[in-house]
């Protein structure tokens, strides 16, 4: 079986599990979605390098001010899972993301940790970051995937070492975007607003924390849910240190 077929089967199996979890439960052993945000406080999340007002809850939403640059991490590590997360930017060119399989230990000079980043950019980011008449590719703002700070991956749709979405589906500021992230055995598939458009494989790190990113612009999150899937065969060097 080819690598592409194997990856496709992993993703298909995970999506079947997601469908089963939303159906009436026939067995308590079926994977189920669990909420990672209760809409009331920051329970389940640990600010790593932030100011007191960087992360807050407002009208049932998880609000990130964007200042300073940094992350907030999950209490526990995750290996194989499906993550559902909804987000919207409030400022032109807003920048954020969620780090998967992260060590949640930011590099001091960059303030961001390692892991695989699932990019969340506001559509005007391309225009605002044009330099010398050269614009970044539009696909960059529609959910790029890439290894960060030493984590290596193989891109499905290469843009250098990064993987770009093959269809532009993200919505602009003030509108909610829906990401479904299927992460299994070093493979990630990303659905943007209802369609799978990106992926990576062979991540050198495949168990770690989830980190939400603060990077210079306010962003709102809601309906953050995770379904844990059975673990795989993961070597110690493929697991982030436990904090």
- Domains in the chain (CATH in brackets) are 3-23+32-230 (2.60.120.560)
Q: Residue 2 pLDDT > 80, yes or no?
A: no
Q: What's the mean pLDDT when you consider all of the chain?
A: 90
pLDDT for position 9: 47
pLDDT for position 146: 98
Q: Which residue has the higher pLDDT, 6 or 113?
A: 113
- First-to-final CA distance of the chain: 38
User: Reading across the β-sheet that carries 45-47, which strands appear in turn?
Assistant: 45-47, 70-78, 208-214, 95-102, 115-121, 145-148, 162-163, 158-159
pLDDT for position 18: 52
pLDDT for position 1: 37
Token pair recorded at residue 213: 């990113």
Q: Residue 14 pLDDT > 60, yes or no?
A: no
CA-atom Rg of the chain in angstroms? 17
Closest C-alpha among 12, 18, 7 to residue 228: 18
Q: Residue 25 pLDDT > 80, yes or no?
A: no
pTM, entire model? 0.89
Instruction: Please give the average per-residue pLDDT across 191-195, as a whole number.
Output: 98
């Amino acid at each position: 079986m080819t690598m592409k077929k194997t990856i496709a089967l992993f993703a298909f199996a995970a999506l079947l599990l997601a469908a089963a979890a939303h159906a009436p439960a026939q067995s308590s052993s079926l994977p189920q979605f669990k909420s990672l945000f209760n809409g009331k406080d920051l329970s389940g999340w640990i600010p790593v390098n932030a100011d007191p007002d960087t992360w807050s809850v407002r009208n049932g939403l998880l609000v990130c001010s964007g200042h300073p640059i940094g992350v907030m991490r999950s209490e526990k590590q995750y290996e194989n899972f499906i993550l559902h997360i909804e987000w919207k930017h409030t400022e032109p060119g807003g920048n954020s993301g969620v780090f998967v399989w992260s060590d949640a230990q930011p590099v001091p000079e960059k303030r961001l940790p390692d892991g695989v980043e699932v990019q969340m950019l506001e559509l005007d980011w391309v225009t605002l970051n044009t330099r010398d008449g050269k614009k970044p590719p539009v696909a960059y703002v529609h959910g790029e995937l890439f290894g960060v700070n030493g984590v290596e991956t193989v891109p499905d749709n290469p843009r250098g070492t990064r993987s770009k979405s093959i269809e532009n589906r993200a919505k602009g500021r003030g509108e909610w975007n829906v990401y479904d992230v299927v992460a299994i055995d070093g493979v990630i598939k990303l659905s943007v607003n209802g369609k799978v458009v990106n992926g990576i494989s062979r991540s050198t790190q495949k168990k770690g924390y989830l980190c939400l990113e603060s990077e210079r612009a306010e962003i709102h999150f809601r309906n953050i849910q995770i379904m844990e899937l059975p673990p795989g065969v993961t070597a110690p060097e493929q697991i982030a240190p436990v904090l």
